[in-house]
Structure 1
């Protein structure tokens, strides 16, 4: 139950009912650990290193207890925290095209690299080059509770805690054996999930020590977009069925030759043996995943031992092996530039003549005899190869050792060391190599290549669309491998305790302090095979994965104070102040200072006001510093230079950017709403800075036992943000400075125009490495990123004569979310406002406990309506092709129902139905936002694309 005392605002107790809250309404506070009175017990306070058991801090912290883990039947940390109000979508199991095989946490929409993920207040080795922690590595079986702190915490934990902190507090003492197994599937009969874990622990040395070990296994089966009716076909923004221009039969994109209606000739017609203007599009949706398959093996162990009455030794370690599979539609020749020999044995005579005419070759017969090569762009989907496969296998381990205890009656110490490694291997199959396709195009006859190396087999691009032989597929297809290794070393020493036995002005609570130092070193390297590191070589990948490495270290010193000022006075039950400061020296970016300050005021019993200010930093990560520049894919649905009727000024700009003059008026719109973008790291980056403050209140009225209420306003502003210039920012500055959509104000003198490079053959922003597309410069941008809003939590727990009732409400209202480009994204979606962040969202859980029958719990998820980021401009444009119904999403609700019962003394059975009423996701087309989050004609990371699901869990403890 929730209780209130003078020195501790709210505590969580291990009551049998345990509240069943989605989020416990709580301030930041010291948490009770085990029931024993061991003086060396650790008190974990998220957002502070001071371990006073009476500590109340000014930072708002939301708590998810073990009860909520049980009710949600959580088998992965992503499922526990990914849909909390105020949390936007990170990379998750619903992300297929754009995933790197991890699951990440994105607080306030500020980016998964702007918050820290911790275990017991300690850093976890990042899973990649961007310093982001993979939530797949969190051992859920041993989670005691999860705490989310809003606002900067760099003065406590160092860089990266800009948006806040996600801290998983693990069980410290465990005795006995616990077995958990769960199984779930969707109502469609797919997406099976199986999880099993065993935890064993006990005391030793007459109770002076405890050790626990846990092993787990998880297997998640896939769900395909083709398995749901709303996502089997790809919808364009105008509602039409449209797929990729890389299709079958082959398209050879002619520049000058037109038909009688002045339409470009492109697609091969097997009936006529010529190129015709119309072409098919390819429906790439069915092969993509809505739920990516995953297997995970994990182990976790921890132990502590009281060496003396005042010194405790401790150690813990974790190992995870996770395999995540991704799948995309078949690979192909995605409009890259190719050398096509006119004497290719599969080229029909009609196509040979068309190619000669298009390239101004008058002696076509002579050119064919000489094997003249035509430079052209080709689109051809390799349906014969099957779906593209990507497998990410991650092996991660980390170990901690340390000693802690009492130096004096007032002062404690904690000295620890940690080392972790993560090795992620990405293997591609069925993608194909460009160099081998080019080799296969240069053929002597149908069976012989000019260059016979590597067992070359000629490629037939001019059949009925399924004419590429098995031998050719085997030749062009070769698995490719990229391996990313990261390591993190940490040394930390802290003194904490009480400076005095009392506070100021008669306050009986002592002044708490913490001071210490920390050293961290990060290393990372990406090792790629030759194909993966070569621009354009692996077909259908976008950017290459060049080999590179980097490292940096940081030395830090920090100090904190929590000072009780006044206690037990009229209208001042308690008044305390806190402060903290940290100095950091980075080997790559120099010196930084971070600091915090806060106040807590309790005027009367049950009412507390709190506020704090934090100055935080985020140092550039290894990827931002060392990534070599390369060309990959970005999102764009409308190219200003595409289509007929463009102005003379705009035409001149497009030509200056590389478009052939002859193609103006016939430039194609971006293929599958994707264009080339060029980007890379920069060693000149400086740390970005953030200033945040929170103001709130905690109400726990003594007149209503079991009721608690919190409300906190937060405001986070990031200056000098480390960001790439967005595609829209660059295009608008060049083509549409007034952002009115008609391009009449196109400015050829804008410096951003020089950042745009077009395909020299067809003028588009698509193509191979010879088409840079839009160059996105990485730097400390001039704009500011701002996120502000209000969090509200209400919880009520009441025993009854039939059992108990529990209610909780947790909501977030986002007042503002401003990007570095000055775009307001709160409540909006689109290519800039991805992932989406609703203006208002909440979760409401109600739990009824019936004696001898069990617990029934209903969780209501509600999300405010959203609108397209360019809705106003599109509605005002009479030529807009975007359907009005795609520019607005109504509010969205789902309900989860759970039943739980202790079937035997030590055995608990839990079953649940998620999305009880089978709510369908909103349909907004496949091209209105960024392809990472906008997929399957909806936003599957935000809205439920799987449908009604069932889950059952059996837990036994002995």
Structure 2
């Protein structure tokens, strides 16, 4: 799938040469980056943006269905224009959005373990399922069961601008727009040919990204019609964590030393009353004590996932008559994303070991027998190699096995997504001031996950069932090969036949569909307020959407037989549809009066009726509404405000997913007395704590030897809930826009936002589940807690007493979906833009700042209200800084643009180090992660002074130059992460597995390092 960098660079060179040869061809005049009076590159406000038509000629104003090119709303909209997109040279929409203040990084190219082959955006840290992504104001088919659109499908080559609207937008766009919308606006009436080629490479010669796009468009029939067609290709190479010194070794957040996984090499086995013991390097006996050598999984994982994309976009519009126009748009893309993680194996599930297993030495056998109270005579008799199952004297012992099958190789999931979405519509005029618009669209997304390199739990168990080195007992799977799980890595039993027996390719197919239709009438009746010049504008309409989604897993994936897959992926099938009625009104009350240059009020309402395709489900009805207003007392000063009620209907995953046991993040188990490296961390549990641990499934033989969750991950059980109802969000925004007449081309906006979601569809955090049982100090449960349902719902591994193990026997934490949650966020957005012509140069400065005051979550009433601003943890997921900003300064001199982007991410600290750590579910022993000097086990980082409890502020600078060689040729060159700022170190268990990888947070902080960008663009 990959080509070499040299061939790609040669392709780029040949392309540029051809472009230069064509330099004499006619083309449109190249616009300079900064034109006085026009918006500067960077993030601007809607006041500074061009509210334009799309490639189909459709006027789009984000946040309303009223199509008025002169409309400037009361709701603030951040706008990323075409120049900013060009200067950033982002290759995916997710990569562009994740760097904007106010957007928390979500699943994307920097996420490896937890990436399902799609990219999403998380607006205001309220969840990627609480915003809507639009293309020209219209939804596209989601990528997965949670109803989220895959940003990999956005055709960036045709995007003219990106509008980001904060706050409830459900009135305009329907359910899910609780935190806002992200609207990609395509170019309008494109005519000509444009070709782009770009290459990015790190200073170290890796992390290559290559992209090429070709767009052609034309007007026809004397300008009555326009058609545009675009095709693109992109590929990105993997960047392994082992390729960076800060990622070579998995560091433990708890100790600062070499961490990794307790699923180790050589094998570890559980022994009743002794915890887990690791086999020595020769496979002849157990290492004394509980200590073991953790497996370093980092080098197998990646900081940048391999990615390949083919995309096609086409659009056309035609003026049938003076009053009727037809339009159409089609998108197709095929994306391939690979995730690469450390080898599979046995992650603590139970195996039956015959005492006459041919690889079991006398020393190991005697230890197993002693721990299981088998007499020496019976143990010796059971070692007879002639015994088979059912024979007198045949004995087995049951043990939890922890062993990486490194011999099989890494686990690779290849996600291939084929996506298409087609739209057809017509619009026209009813009167000179009233228009109509009707369209329908249909889209499908099909994601095929090919899972390779995973050992099968059933095959691992079968490979123990042998009394000789060449064949397994009768009743085992066909092709069974005995394997020496007690011996060293790559011992002689790991033959090609054994590896082939242990693993199979598994597949999961996820398919989603969206059919939708909408009809609107908008405009004005020519009626206005007596003291206003502009008429009252309105929009009314109806909308229909039908969602369908299914997941089809083969028996290996659905049955949970894949070792280390994080739980089974059962089949899911569900659908629902919704009928909606919409109304919007904008009323200019006063205009051009003293202290009332403009006073405008807005309103909107949407009624929705949902039908859930499930037996006995009556569905539900919802109503959303908004009121807003703006007041301009004098030219250049505007006050604005907005209050909205939004809803989010439960998606198909939340409704229809079966209850299964998977993995969640948990660093500290109050019942554990040993850490993940086998070292004692606290005394054995006593009193109420001991009673609770026993009530949860620990036994007298395991209670004093429970280990912390492996790699900061514990089992958890949860699933969908057909009783879920829509959640309700309320948002209000108040702000001011200042455009002083005495400083031309300066604009400043300041807006306060406040969003709260009640009845939120959520599940408890791991910290909530622990605190609800073990008390505020997560280690001192109250009297009677052993019978408390909040405690007994937590179920432990019967073999080890821990919260890891076979999902069939170890449900772990119970984290179910409910409507009992609460989410809240508030803060201030500041946007400033300035442009000035100093004669020999045109200068511009554009900046946007977000101060986040609170980002709160409460799982159920009465539980702790967790505020994640300024913190990172498994509960908060990833760093949520209080301060973020981006500032771009650009100078244009004779067709050359030189631009510097400054991106600031405020400092954060570990949640366990908070002043109210006990209420947040942290014990005194676990509140501090680590601070000190990394020991020798940290390899190249040895001796470095670190503080895993705190991440300082980070500042990144990107320097870009765009050179207009001629009217039809532009070169762009740049250096990203100019000062090669390395990411902060926090170890591997400080946050959630999805975002805390390679000892840092790769989605938040740059792990690639300094890299160079080269691009060429030709236009005819």
If the TM-score is normalised by the length of the shorter chain, which range does it land in?
over 0.9
1:766-777 equivalent positions in 2, closer than 5 A: 766-769=804-807, 770-777=809-816
Measured after TM superposition, the shift of residue 298 of structure 1 is 0.1
Q: Give the structure 1 partner of residue 743 of structure 2.
A: 704
Q: Give the structure 1 partner of residue 282 of structure 2.
A: 270
The reply on whether 1:855 has 2:879 as its aligned counterpart is no
The reply on whether 1:521 has 2:540 as its aligned counterpart is no
Q: Give the structure 1 partner of residue 639 of structure 2.
A: 609
Q: Give the structure 2 partner of residue 45 of structure 1.
A: 61
Q: Give the structure 2 partner of residue 686 of structure 1.
A: 725
Looking at structure 2, the residues matched to 347 and 133 of structure 1 have their Cα atoms a distance apart, in angstroms, of: 53
**C-alpha distance after superposition, 1:800-836 (max 9, x if no partner):** 2112000011000001111124101111111111232
1:61-140 equivalent positions in 2, closer than 5 A: 61-140=77-156
Q: Give the structure 2 partner of residue 561 of structure 1.
A: 585
TM-score where L is the length of structure 2? 0.89
**C-alpha distance after superposition, 1:372-415 (max 9, x if no partner):** 22121011111111111111110000000000010111210000
| Corresponding residue to 1:24 among 41, 44, 49 | 44
Q: Give the structure 2 partner of residue 866 of structure 1.
A: 908
The reply on whether 1:379 has 2:379 as its aligned counterpart is no
Looking at structure 1, the residues matched to 69 and 450 of structure 2 have their Cα atoms a distance apart, in angstroms, of: 50
The reply on whether 1:287 has 2:304 as its aligned counterpart is no
C-alpha change, 1:215 and 1:642, in structure 2 (3 Å) is: same
Contact kept? 1:105, 1:112, Cα under 8 Å: yes
| Corresponding residue to 1:642 among 665, 672, 680 | 672
| Corresponding residue to 1:809 among 847, 850, 864 | 847
Measured after TM superposition, the shift of residue 748 of structure 1 is 2.8
Looking at structure 2, the residues matched to 244 and 746 of structure 1 have their Cα atoms a distance apart, in angstroms, of: 35
Looking at structure 2, the residues matched to 587 and 903 of structure 1 have their Cα atoms a distance apart, in angstroms, of: 58
Measured after TM superposition, the shift of residue 122 of structure 1 is 0.1
| Corresponding residue to 1:658 among 697, 706, 710 | 697
Q: Give the structure 2 partner of residue 748 of structure 1.
A: 786
The secondary structure found in structure 2 opposite 1:466 is coil
The reply on whether 1:722 has 2:761 as its aligned counterpart is yes
Contact kept? 1:353, 1:364, Cα under 8 Å: yes
Measured after TM superposition, the shift of residue 65 of structure 1 is 0.7
Deviates more, 1:739-748 or 1:421-430: 739-748
Looking at structure 2, the residues matched to 53 and 216 of structure 1 have their Cα atoms a distance apart, in angstroms, of: 31
**C-alpha distance after superposition, 1:38-93 (max 9, x if no partner):** xx942201000001222221111011110101111122111211110011011011
The reply on whether 1:951 has 2:1013 as its aligned counterpart is yes
Measured after TM superposition, the shift of residue 274 of structure 1 is 4.5
C-alpha change, 1:610 and 1:374, in structure 2 (3 Å) is: same
The reply on whether 1:784 has 2:822 as its aligned counterpart is yes
The secondary structure found in structure 1 opposite 2:45 is coil
Measured after TM superposition, the shift of residue 771 of structure 1 is 0.3
| Corresponding residue to 2:76 among 42, 45, 60 | 60
| Corresponding residue to 1:487 among 513, 522, 536 | 513
Contact kept? 2:277, 2:286, Cα under 8 Å: no
Q: Give the structure 1 partner of residue 679 of structure 2.
A: none
The secondary structure found in structure 2 opposite 1:675 is strand
**C-alpha distance after superposition, 1:518-540 (max 9, x if no partner):** 010000110011111003x0111
C-alpha change, 1:274 and 1:664, in structure 2 (3 Å) is: closer
Measured after TM superposition, the shift of residue 876 of structure 1 is 9.6
C-alpha change, 1:63 and 1:716, in structure 2 (3 Å) is: same
Q: Give the structure 1 partner of residue 3 of structure 2.
A: none
Looking at structure 1, the residues matched to 247 and 277 of structure 2 have their Cα atoms a distance apart, in angstroms, of: 31
C-alpha change, 1:345 and 1:199, in structure 2 (3 Å) is: same
C-alpha change, 1:377 and 1:876, in structure 2 (3 Å) is: closer
C-alpha change, 1:393 and 1:287, in structure 2 (3 Å) is: same
Looking at structure 1, the residues matched to 887 and 260 of structure 2 have their Cα atoms a distance apart, in angstroms, of: 40
C-alpha change, 1:740 and 1:271, in structure 2 (3 Å) is: closer
| Corresponding residue to 2:352 among 339, 345, 361 | 339
Looking at structure 1, the residues matched to 412 and 145 of structure 2 have their Cα atoms a distance apart, in angstroms, of: 22
Contact kept? 1:26, 1:710, Cα under 8 Å: no
Q: Give the structure 2 partner of residue 839 of structure 1.
A: 882
The reply on whether 1:797 has 2:835 as its aligned counterpart is yes
| Corresponding residue to 2:203 among 182, 187, 192 | 187
**C-alpha distance after superposition, 1:639-658 (max 9, x if no partner):** 10011332221111111111
Looking at structure 2, the residues matched to 515 and 410 of structure 1 have their Cα atoms a distance apart, in angstroms, of: 14
Q: Give the structure 1 partner of residue 963 of structure 2.
A: 901
C-alpha change, 1:213 and 1:660, in structure 2 (3 Å) is: same
Looking at structure 1, the residues matched to 222 and 470 of structure 2 have their Cα atoms a distance apart, in angstroms, of: 79
Q: Give the structure 1 partner of residue 172 of structure 2.
A: 156
Q: Give the structure 1 partner of residue 711 of structure 2.
A: 672
Looking at structure 2, the residues matched to 135 and 34 of structure 1 have their Cα atoms a distance apart, in angstroms, of: 19
Looking at structure 2, the residues matched to 350 and 274 of structure 1 have their Cα atoms a distance apart, in angstroms, of: 8
The reply on whether 1:620 has 2:646 as its aligned counterpart is no
Looking at structure 1, the residues matched to 1003 and 91 of structure 2 have their Cα atoms a distance apart, in angstroms, of: 18
Looking at structure 1, the residues matched to 822 and 719 of structure 2 have their Cα atoms a distance apart, in angstroms, of: 22
The reply on whether 1:251 has 2:275 as its aligned counterpart is no
Q: Give the structure 2 partner of residue 356 of structure 1.
A: 369
**C-alpha distance after superposition, 1:597-625 (max 9, x if no partner):** 00111111111111011100000000000
Looking at structure 1, the residues matched to 597 and 33 of structure 2 have their Cα atoms a distance apart, in angstroms, of: 27
Contact kept? 1:528, 1:545, Cα under 8 Å: yes
Looking at structure 2, the residues matched to 876 and 340 of structure 1 have their Cα atoms a distance apart, in angstroms, of: 38
Deviates more, 1:244-253 or 1:706-715: 244-253
Measured after TM superposition, the shift of residue 928 of structure 1 is 1.1
Q: Give the structure 1 partner of residue 8 of structure 2.
A: none
Q: Give the structure 2 partner of residue 882 of structure 1.
A: 929
Q: Give the structure 2 partner of residue 394 of structure 1.
A: 417
Q: Give the structure 2 partner of residue 942 of structure 1.
A: 1004
Measured after TM superposition, the shift of residue 877 of structure 1 is 3.7
C-alpha change, 1:912 and 1:580, in structure 2 (3 Å) is: same
The secondary structure found in structure 1 opposite 2:42 is coil
Contact kept? 1:30, 1:52, Cα under 8 Å: no
C-alpha change, 1:271 and 1:677, in structure 2 (3 Å) is: closer
C-alpha change, 1:23 and 1:509, in structure 2 (3 Å) is: same
Looking at structure 2, the residues matched to 241 and 204 of structure 1 have their Cα atoms a distance apart, in angstroms, of: 67
The secondary structure found in structure 2 opposite 1:532 is helix
Looking at structure 2, the residues matched to 239 and 198 of structure 1 have their Cα atoms a distance apart, in angstroms, of: 50
Looking at structure 1, the residues matched to 555 and 655 of structure 2 have their Cα atoms a distance apart, in angstroms, of: 23
The secondary structure found in structure 2 opposite 1:734 is helix
The reply on whether 1:307 has 2:320 as its aligned counterpart is yes
Looking at structure 1, the residues matched to 276 and 212 of structure 2 have their Cα atoms a distance apart, in angstroms, of: 59
Contact kept? 1:64, 1:147, Cα under 8 Å: yes
The secondary structure found in structure 1 opposite 2:272 is coil
The secondary structure found in structure 1 opposite 2:866 is coil
Looking at structure 2, the residues matched to 28 and 122 of structure 1 have their Cα atoms a distance apart, in angstroms, of: 23
Contact kept? 2:635, 2:741, Cα under 8 Å: yes
TM-score where L is the length of structure 1? 0.95
**C-alpha distance after superposition, 1:123-179 (max 9, x if no partner):** 011000000111100000000110000000101110000000000000121111100
C-alpha change, 1:271 and 1:123, in structure 2 (3 Å) is: closer
The secondary structure found in structure 1 opposite 2:899 is strand
Contact kept? 2:711, 2:988, Cα under 8 Å: no
Residue-pair matches, total: 933
Q: Give the structure 1 partner of residue 381 of structure 2.
A: 366
Structure 2 unaligned spans of 5+: 1-30, 388-392, 613-618, 674-682, 860-864, 932-946
Looking at structure 2, the residues matched to 20 and 80 of structure 1 have their Cα atoms a distance apart, in angstroms, of: 17
| Corresponding residue to 1:540 among 549, 564, 583 | 564
Q: Give the structure 1 partner of residue 537 of structure 2.
A: 512
Measured after TM superposition, the shift of residue 453 of structure 1 is 4.3
Measured after TM superposition, the shift of residue 905 of structure 1 is 1.8
